[in-house]
């Protein structure tokens, strides 16, 4: 049987097909998140949404979401995600019927991602907010968060110093990794034990590792 090759689609056609595909998947799954990704493709063609929602990113966020539910429960008044990029993790939490979340906020230092995050989370407009801010300049005492998420602790030179900015008794979900070869990773750890020693949380609900092809991701859930 002879196979014929297909010509490569122009970029504009690729976006149109990706938009149609994600809208179809959203209709099939009834997922507000997938519908949000379709809106991002249509309204923000320059957004790197394919990278933000690749299989590795999704796997790490699913691990965080499901483990959080098991380790710390379902009810949260205010979840703050730092380095939230396009707000995918808040969307994954908000669309999960197992959780009861009054508000989820995505903080990122890059001002270009705020509008995209609101587009992605349009279905949760009353329970979602994107904020452009430096994580070192946030008034954590006045934030009123009962869960703070930071999945990029490998970028923090002094993890314990940053955690000391957060009110004692606040629950945190932290992730790091052993991907030392990445130049922007300035504070990787070799083991989950080393990560726990860095964080020195007052209480620990969960400590574990998720092996991937190039590195291992570590996660802690507990209170400062």
Neighbouring CB atoms inside 10 A of 55's CB total 8
CA distance readout (Å), 142 to 76, 166, 167: 17, 10, 9
Q: Beta-strand (E) ranges in 67-202?
A: 75-82, 100-108, 128-132, 147-150, 171-177
What is the rounded CA–CA span in Å between residue 189 and residue 182? 13
Q: How many helices (H) and strands (E) does the chain have?
A: 8, 7
Query: Own/partner pairs for 8-16, CB < 8 Å, 24+ apart?
Result: 15/41, 15/45
pTM over 0.85: yes
Residue 27 pLDDT grade (very low, low, confident, very high; cuts 50, 70, 90): very high
Residue 61 pLDDT grade (very low, low, confident, very high; cuts 50, 70, 90): very high
| pLDDT tens by residue, 142-193 | 999 999 999 999 999 999 999 999 999 999 999 999 888 788 889 999 999 9
| pLDDT tens by residue, 75-117 | 999 999 999 999 999 999 999 999 999 999 999 999 999 999 9
Q: What is the pLDDT of residue 205?
A: 97
Spatial contact of 117 and 92, defined as CB atoms under 8 Å apart: no
Separation of CA 11 from chain center: 28
């Amino acid at each position: 049987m002879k196979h014929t090759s297909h010509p490569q689609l122009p970029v504009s056609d690729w976006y149109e097909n990706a938009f149609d595909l994600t809208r179809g998947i959203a209709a099939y799954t009834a997922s507000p998140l997938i519908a949000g990704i379709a809106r991002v493709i249509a309204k923000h063609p320059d957004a790197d949404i394919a990278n933000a929602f690749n299989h590795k990113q999704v796997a790490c966020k699913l691990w965080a979401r499901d483990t959080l539910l098991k380790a710390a429960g379902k009810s949260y008044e205010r979840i703050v995600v730092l380095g939230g990029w396009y707000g995918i993790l808040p969307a994954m939490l908000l669309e999960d019927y197992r959780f009861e979340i009054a508000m989820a906020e995505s903080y990122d230092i890059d001002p270009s991602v705020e509008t995209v995050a609101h587009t992605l989370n349009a279905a949760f407009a009353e329970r979602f907010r994107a904020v452009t801010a430096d994580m070192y300049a946030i008034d954590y005492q006045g934030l009123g968060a009962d869960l703070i998420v930071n999945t990029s602790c490998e970028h923090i030179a002094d993890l314990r110093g940053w955690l000391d900015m957060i009110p004692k008794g606040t629950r945190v979900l932290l992730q790091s990794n052993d991907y030392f070869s990445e130049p922007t990773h300035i504070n990787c750890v070799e083991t989950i034990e080393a990560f726990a020693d860095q964080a020195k949380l007052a209480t620990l609900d969960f400590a574990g590792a998720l092996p991937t092809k190039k590195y291992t991701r570590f996660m802690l859930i507990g209170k400062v």
